Chains A and B, each alone.
Chain A
């Protein structure tokens, strides 16, 4: 791919550089981390993270195992707090609200910021009940609305045709790739603002992977997506921006094509070219 943008439009975030110059035609910020730090007990897992993600984009997080990708993405919907020894400092703004604030209700946050996990984790219920779960717990009871939500979400997750005749079957009867798309449908059913995905295709075969990648391109029109992936090609294929994490630091964050073709940091270059990681 040939770079059309000026090199100066690229930003290079380091730990001190908080107020970077905005990229051209920047979409609205959905998440902004400011000097965000996280510890598991004494283990300083995330160090001074300063990052912004934008509306209707797919942002990828890459980096070697143990660098803090999952920890960071789970901080964005505060799922990371399920680990009792976690301690945080700094700010994460979700559309101008600091989600680390004591007054933030996590249920409300997680309704707006949905999550798809690495391993498909449908509930041991019917396909229908899986997708209807979110709307139901948020008070939607009437059958007609639920029917429509279920169909719409399954269509969005590109699995409607495969399951429309067996909505009452247990979701565990499906293949791994189908289960993962059910989980995506389940997440979409509450019409979130943002979808977080932590290695959503790492347990899947190449065909299911491609299906989910195509799906992400569709979803991007309505949602903002943040995806963690170990698969470099995947990050390059699907994302608009890429953040490279290394040992709890954000080493580089930029347009995906710059990260992959013209990285500014030696460590990024080594990683994306497969020299370590």
Chain B
């Protein structure tokens, strides 16, 4: 027999003590830097927001229905900007949630392996298209197309960017929902089909409920992307804060306002400059709330199989 001296070699193996000692230190520093950066941003946001409310009444900010930052007699009611964001999110959700979940159900429950292997990567590519492309698509194609049968539709409006935001978040919702559905074990489907349930009954009464935490998280994540979406609305929704519920008119979202201020030349130290932070803070509260909802859903409805 060949003597390989494995035991001896293992005993004599010198591992680098240096690497073992430094790796955790390096990784810890990286972690700390990212945490500190986040805290720094949040700190600035809070300080500048407080500063803004030293100049402008918080009551006006919360109760006024008019936002007119660039006027010589400005008004600072956040409502129209929130409404603008919500219009886009609701229209986007109407487009993306049913189609996204439908597509996911098709892919995970009905499509053949081959179809799934072709479509899934396409979805992932779609999810990676830069949003500016979607914005151009909205203004050059969707708006004129909608105008052809909705004549009162303005050049800038909520409908077209809303639909396109929906299209933008659709692949993400579909893909994450598909992941959630396909992680439901087959034994569950067999249990249901074996009772004489139809395929659709199995999907709707067993698979979907079993995956509800993942599906809910997918939807909430999609919606928080819609809330934070900037490019599409800046291009296709206009820049007119609007407190009517009409979706055919021009509007401005919270993100849209931030882009308008930062890309224009609002002088440092003006009210407009500080309003940026107040709006940013509001936006942050919205997305934070969405994240918390998503976490809550994941925890609350988590199923173990």
Give the CA-CA distance A178 to B197 in the complex, in Å: 23
Residue of A nearest to B304 (CB): A172
Question: B187 to A117, Cβ gap below 8 A?
Answer: yes
Which residues of B have CB within 8 Å of A190? 195-196
Does B112 sit at the interface, judged by CB under 8 A?
A: yes
For the complex formed, measure the closest distance between the CB of B200 and the CB atoms of chain A, giving whole angstroms.
10
Which residues of A have CB within 8 Å of B112? 84
Question: A121 to B209, Cβ gap below 8 A?
Answer: no
Number of residues on chain B facing chain A (CB within 8 A) = 21
Which residues of A have CB within 8 Å of B196? 107-112, 134, 137-138, 190
Interface bits B192-226 vs A (CB < 8 Å: 1, else 0): 11111110010001100110000000000000000
Which residues of A have CB within 8 Å of B206? 123, 133
Identify which of residues 105-162 in chain A touch chain B, using a CB-to-CB cut-off of 8 Å. 107-112, 114-115, 117, 119, 121-125, 133-134, 137-138
Question: B210 to A124, Cβ gap below 8 A?
Answer: yes
Residue of A nearest to B206 (CB): A123
Give the CA-CA distance A110 to B192 in the complex, in Å: 10
Contact of B187 among A111, A114, A121, A134 (CB under 8 A): A121
Question: A137 to B303, Cβ gap below 8 A?
Answer: no
Question: B195 to A133, Cβ gap below 8 A?
Answer: yes
Does A194 sit at the interface, judged by CB under 8 A?
A: no
Does B74 sit at the interface, judged by CB under 8 A?
A: no
Interface bits B159-200 vs A (CB < 8 Å: 1, else 0): 000000000000000000000000001011011111111100
Does B149 sit at the interface, judged by CB under 8 A?
A: no
For the complex formed, measure the closest distance between the CB of A166 and the CB atoms of chain B, giving whole angstroms.
17
Number of A-B contacts (CB under 8 A): 71
Identify which of residues 164-211 in chain A touch chain B, using a CB-to-CB cut-off of 8 Å. 172, 183, 186-187, 190
Does A77 sit at the interface, judged by CB under 8 A?
A: yes
Which residues of B have CB within 8 Å of A122? 191
Give the CA-CA distance A117 to B187 in the complex, in Å: 8
Does A79 sit at the interface, judged by CB under 8 A?
A: yes
Contact of B195 among A84, A110, A124, A125 (CB under 8 A): A110
Question: A134 to B190, Cβ gap below 8 A?
Answer: no
Residue of A nearest to B195 (CB): A134
Does B268 sit at the interface, judged by CB under 8 A?
A: no
Would you mind naming 30 contact pairs between A and B with Cβ atoms under 8 Å apart?
A77-B194, A82-B190, A84-B112, A107-B198, A109-B196, A110-B194, A110-B195, A111-B196, A114-B195, A115-B194, A117-B187, A117-B191, A123-B188, A123-B206, A123-B209, A123-B210, A124-B188, A124-B304, A124-B305, A125-B209, A133-B195, A133-B205, A134-B195, A134-B197, A137-B196, A137-B205, A138-B196, A172-B305, A186-B195, A187-B194
Q: Which residues in B have some Cβ–Cβ distance to A below 8 Å?
A: 112, 185, 187-188, 190-198, 201, 205-206, 209-210, 303-305
